[in-house]
Chains A and B, each alone.
Chain A
Amino acid sequence: MGPTVSKLLVVLAAAAAAGVLIGLYVSKLTTDAGSPSYTLPVRSVAGHPVVDLTVETVAAVGPSLSPGHPDWVSYLVRDTQGKWRRSTVWRLPANATVHMTIYNFDGASGLRNPLYARPQGVDGNIMIVDGKPLKVMPPDDASHTFAVAQYGLVVPIAPVPDAAKNPCDYAPCALTSAHRTIQFTFHTGAKGHYRWQCLVPCAAGWLYGFGGPMQTIGYMDGFLDVV
């Protein structure tokens, strides 16, 4: 084997190794590798699968849940023990009814596209905010959204007022802190891997407000693993 061939093999091996590392990094970012999936308990109502999905939205995930990015805005899911988990990949049954409750502890950011101020893709195209039905909210007041494009689902999330007393600085946030409660119902369809995201540009300090936590699984977006 000549020196030229040896050099070529070294270059090829280095390129292959770099490719594998890049692939693993991208996979970690784009799959649930960085956020273990959480299987939600399913109950049966007249033989129909029903899931109660409870999440909270926080302005800063905090050092205890995310030492690497304590200031990132985030969603958390509540498990059966009532603990808040940093997981945004949720396993749901197919063709199920999902009653979703979002406790929001964050303030307003504002929608870039006001269309998303209208709940869509949920039962009645209505959301319940602090117990009151709402068909639309002022776009500038939106704190976040929960959106699943493949379901045509968008729900804007009402904000905690700036002047609210007892705000929550870091997650996990207890319900004794100032918060808003948003409830709605949607239906999972066929089995599949459905991506969800926030459509409010709420990632402070990032280009267009859509970098960092907005593009990283485990914070402001994730998947519905419908099985």
Chain B
Amino acid sequence: MSTVTATEPNHAKRVIVAWVVLSAIATPLVALFAGPAFPPGNASAQGAQQVSDNTWMVAVLTPIICLLVVFFAYALTQFRHTGGELVDGPPLRNDNRIQVLWLVASAVVVLFFAGFGTYELLQNGSGGGQGPSPIAVPGGTKLPVQVIAQQWEFTYRYPTYGGLETSELFLPADTTIEFHVTSLDAIHSFWAFELGIKADANPGVDNVAFLETKGPRTFHIHCAELCGLWHGYMFSTGHIVPESQFTAWVKQQQQNFAPVAKYLPPYAKTYYPDPQRRAG
């Protein structure tokens, strides 16, 4: 068995040059064009924050992916057996400098994201459910809105408007909303994906999530937790409207649901419906 004895070009130098050039081109393109197009969009402060976070993440990850792509492409083209006798390559040697560099670089990237992610999460909760005692609470006045899930519809209560409960979700624009998400039966999840908010709806649990709305728009609401065979049909449309329109809508809903108001339980963070005769 023979070994390769011919003089080899400096492969490391070639790979590094190719990697630097590719990264210098790809990273700005990804950060400027791909990142801002990522979901969920800029319909809320939380959504915009998620877009920004995702942009940062892909911008940092792009050079790493470029390195892998360049290395594999280089290896596939340059270290290819092209004929003749199949022989062993040169022996592989350990290089402590590369190992240390790789470990340090990986640790820096991971620790950066851990710190960055924690910082971002603590700003306003990033639209996620924080349980009954939220840590990341945005400042200023908040409009509490309760989301009540049941198989297979959501309803909404507005405690500052006399405990009004409605079948539709309307929110005022440019307002901080304090969602209290709960369920009357199975485990559901309230997900308004264009707004970047998602919180599990568990029976007997008050799951708090914050949302800072921007301008008027409609958005989709889906259940994001498999809650039965008809989970896929548990969806509706929500509305963010100007403050004056929201006030008018509340008045109209209070009139519409006045006949049933006396039957609604007092507003509470969770509900334990009385056992139904058949369901238990």
Name A residues whose Cβ lies closer than 8 Å to a Cβ of B.
Answer: 29-30, 108-115, 117-118, 120, 125, 135-136, 138-140, 147, 149, 152, 154, 195, 197, 199-211, 214-216, 221
Nearest Cβ distance between residue A76 and chain B, in whole angstroms?
Answer: 19
A136 touches B150 (CB 8 A): no
Bound Cα distance A110, B263 (Å): 12
Please tell me if the beta carbons of B276 and A110 are within 8 angstroms of each other in the complex. yes
- Is A204's CB under 8 angstroms from B155's CB? no
Which B residues touch A197, using CB under 8 A? 152, 230
Residues of B that sit less than 8 Å from A by CB? 148, 150-153, 155, 165, 167-168, 184-186, 228-230, 232-234, 236, 256-257, 259-260, 263-265, 273-274, 276-280
Contacts of A125 in B (CB 8 A): 256
Establish whether residues A139 and B276, one from each chain, have CB atoms under 8 Å apart when the complex forms: no
A195 closest partner in B (C-beta): B233
Asked if B230 and A152 make an inter-chain contact with CB atoms under 8 angstroms apart, the answer reads no
User: Closest CB-CB distance, A216 to chain B, in whole Å?
Assistant: 8
Q: With a CB–CB cut-off of 8 A, which chain B residues contact A30?
A: 229-230, 232
A contact residues around B228 at 8 Å (CB): 210-211, 215
- The reply to whether B168 and A152 contact each other, CB–CB distance below 8 Å, is yes
Asked whether A203 and B263 contact (CB < 8 A) given A149-B153, A152-B167, the answer is: no
A202 touching B278, Cβ below 8 Å: yes
> CA–CA, A110 to B273, complex, Å?
10
Q: Report how far A177 CA is from B138 CA in the complex, Å.
A: 60
Give the shortest distance, in Å, between A32 (CB) and chain B (any CB). 14
Q: Which residues of the other chain, B, contact A207 by a CB distance below 8 angstroms?
A: 186
- Complex A-B, nearest 3 residue pairs according to Cβ-Cβ distance, in ascending order: A209-B279, A201-B279, A118-B260
Contact B155 A115 (CB under 8 A): yes
Closest to A206 in B: B279
**A-B residue pairs in contact (CB < 8 Å), sample of 23:** A30-B229, A30-B230, A109-B276, A112-B273, A113-B148, A113-B155, A115-B155, A118-B259, A118-B260, A149-B233, A149-B236, A200-B276, A201-B278, A203-B278, A207-B186, A208-B185, A208-B186, A209-B278, A210-B185, A210-B279, A215-B228, A216-B229, A221-B230
| A117 lies within 8 A of B263 (CB) | yes
User: Are A110 and B264 closer than 8 Å at their CB atoms?
Assistant: no
Given A197-B230, A202-B279, residue A136 in contact with residue B167 (CB < 8 A): no
Q: Are B184's CB and A139's CB within 8 A?
A: no
- Find the B residue at minimum CB distance from A138: B263
Q: How far does the alpha carbon of A117 sit from the alpha carbon of B261 in the complex, in Å?
A: 10
